[in-house]
Amino acid sequence: MNDQQPIVDPPISKAAVESKPRTSRSFLTAGGSEIEVDIKLENLALQTDDVLTWVRRATQAVTTYYGRFPVRHARVNVIQSDDDDRSIHGTTWGDVDGFQGVSRMRLGRAVSKADLETDWTMTHELVHLAMSSLADAHHWLEEGLATYVEPIARAQDDQLPAAKVWESMISGMVEGEPQKGDHGLDRTHTWGRTYWGGALFCLVADIEIRRATANRRGLQDALRAIVAEGATIDTEWPLPRVLSVGDKATGTKVLTNLYNSWKETPVPVNLDQLWLQLGVQANRHGIVFDSNAPLANLRRSITERPNR
């Protein structure tokens, strides 16, 4: 006689089932383009729909700014990292596995729905789709452009108040000023000069284009033309060719001339004077706008949704 009792596996708890990674694949459309979204979550507090809404908001902002989604077929891969924090990181590549652009987003395990609702990173990464993959010396334009366009795109899509755009510029643009020993943007690859130096180039270019065209055109028109010509992340255009397309769209030489001035030589910008001219100042209560400032109309146009 066998006195052994049968071995019975313990019941699987609901918590154990829910703690298993949840994977999903969804497809979003934006301006006729398709974005495949692959999600793998382990955070019980974060739902798949929360992530999809986050990605959708970013696609809407980018589509609003460029008048179209930059590429026809893109992929966003969202995973959770091993970090038990609220960090959100992203990396974007061009021409991968049949996709024109692929963004890989990594969320800390403590990231919540509220964190995603205020996040800028997803929009920043999708802006990268709208510029050709440039040579290493010109990485400052890739990152600077995404840094500059991201808050403006969200403002134009009514996701961010204009005051927040200028608040971030006032606090950030100073990081892009040349430091002692720096060279031009093509030869100085520090974090500040890459991200905020590139963004400062974009801001100055935007203002100079608007001044040259009586505010009929801006950097946005140049960037839309660059996308329309196909200079997106899955291509490798030389920078002078990219800039010439933008200049042609605005009827100016601002981008080419500014690049020639800044590529080898460290050019400082008098930011205090610039903020005064734009009519934007920060105090302990927040951002204050001066509607009578000389360039106030240019400042308003930058964050307004374009009619054209």
Q: Identify whether 1 is part of a domain.
A: no
Per-residue pLDDT band at 308 (split at 50, 70, 90): low
Domains in the chain, number? 2
Q: Classify residue 225: in a domain, yes or no.
A: yes
- Rounded-to-integer distance, Cα 24 and Cα 41, Å: 9
Q: 190 or 306: which carries more pLDDT confidence?
A: 190
Judge if 113 and 155 occupy the same domain: no
Report residue 84's pLDDT band, with 50, 70 and 90 as the boundaries. Answer: confident
Q: Is the pLDDT of residue 60 over 90?
A: yes
pLDDT value of residue 245: 98
- Domain membership flag for residue 7: no
Pair (234, 269) in one structural domain: yes
Q: Can you give the pLDDT at residue 178?
A: 97
- Where residue 21 falls among pLDDT bands split at 50, 70, 90? confident
Last residue of a domain, one of 89, 106, 130: 130
Cα(220)–Cα(205) distance, rounded to whole angstroms? 10
* In-domain check, residue 308: no
Question: So what's the pLDDT on residue 17?
Answer: 41
The residue segments making up the domain with residue 155 are 136-303
Residues 113, 215, single domain; the answer is no
HSE of 302 in the Cβ direction (CA atoms, 13 Å)? Answer: 29
Same domain assignment for residues 67 and 140: no
Of residues 81 and 62, the one with the higher pLDDT is 62
Q: For the residues 58-64, what does the mean pLDDT come to? A: 97
Comparison of pLDDT for 274 and 22, the residue scoring more: 274
Distance, CA of 59 to CA of 118 (rounded, Å): 15
Question: Is the residue at 170 inside a domain?
Answer: yes
* pLDDT class of 307 with cuts at 50, 70, 90: confident
Token output for 253: 């030489």
Query: Domain boundary residue among 73, 108, 130?
Result: 130
pLDDT of residue 19: 54
Helix (H, G, I), strand (E, B) or coil at 308: coil
The closest alpha carbon to 93, from 221, 234, 229, belongs to 234
Between 29 and 82, whose confidence is greater? 29
Q: Phi/psi at 111 (nearest 5 deg)? A: -65, 135
**Amino acid identity, position 120:** W
Mean pLDDT, range 219-236, rounded to an integer: 98
- Of 92-96, 108-112, 265-269, give the lowest mean pLDDT range: 108-112
Is 90 exceeded by the pLDDT of residue 9? no
Q: Do 140 and 121 have their domain in common?
A: no
Whole-number average pLDDT of the chain: 93
Give pLDDT tens digits for 36-48: 999 999 876 799 9
Same domain? For 86 and 183 the reply is no
Tens-digit pLDDT profile for residues 137-196:
999 999 999 999 999 999 999 999 999 999 999 999 999 999 999 999 999 999 999 999
Q: d(Cα 57, Cα 155) in Å, to the nearest integer? A: 12
Higher pLDDT, 218 or 19: 218
14, part of any domain: no
pTM (2 decimals)? 0.92
45, 156: one domain: no
